[in-house]
Each structure stands twice: as structure tokens, then as C-alpha cells.
A = this chain, B = another copy of it.
Amino acid sequence: MPHLHLEYTANLPGLAVEKTLLRLNNVLMASGQFGSEFDIKSRAVKVETFQVGTSLSPRGFIAVKLSLLSGRSPQVKTQLSESLLAALQDQCEWPADIQVQLSVLLVDMDRDSYSKVVIG
């Protein structure tokens, strides 16, 4: 906890994905909401097959999902979401000819049935 998933469409070659993940993890740590930096598990997936809307205009997206153990306040969640979105906007020289949608979603994970172990 937390888990972060980042999906990005394949038409955004200007996105430095690994650097972006590190940046987002630093944003999460700076929020003061998480005790240990190594708890933050983030991954990125390039989306090769996608369709935005019903037109064939060049479009792309980056979708971030942050999953937290349940119990945080709506205010905290909104703040985390906005902080991630703000950081994300700085991470790419956005292509001039593609409409890109950036979004951040927060998801509660059921605390009672979440189980975890650390090896090594």
C-alpha cells in the first residue's frame, strides 16, 4: 500500500516513463500520508491498442489509478489526486497534434481482506 498504476498510450514517445513513476512516488511521499517509502508500488503499462471516442482523430491519454487502503478522508484523497495530476502535466513535451487526456482516479482497497508479506 499504496499501489499506483499508470497507463499511457503508445503515441506519447516524449513521456519518460521511469522518471515519471519516480516523480509520482516522490509526490506521494511528500504528502505525508505514507509511513515508508518502500510501501509505494508503482508500475506503468504502455497501451498499444486503444480508441478514444468514436472519431479517428489523433488522441491519447495517460490514466493514473492510485489504490489506497480504505479509511482516508475525501479531502486527503482529493488532494492526492490533484497533486499527482499536477506532477504528471510536467512530465512530457506534449505532442502538438494530439489531444491528450490526463486523469487520476483514487480507489479504496478493502482494508480487512488485504494481506501482505515482505520477503528479503
Which A residues fall within an 8 A CB radius of B? Answer: 1, 3, 7, 9, 17-18, 21-22, 25-26, 29, 36-47, 49-55, 57, 59, 61, 63, 67, 74, 77-78, 80-82, 84-85, 89, 94-110, 112-120
- Of the candidates B55, B57, B82, B119, the one whose C-beta lies within 8 Å of that of A99 is B119
* A41–B47 CA distance with the chains assembled, in angstroms: 11
Residues of B within 8 A of A113 (CB): 74, 77-78, 80-81, 104-106
Q: Which 8 A-B pairs rank lowest in CB-CB distance, beginning with the nearest? A: A77-B113, A21-B51, A37-B53, A38-B53, A106-B113, A43-B50, A103-B116, A44-B49
**Closest beta carbon of chain B to A28's beta carbon, Å:** 9
As for how many copies of this chain the complex holds, the number is 3
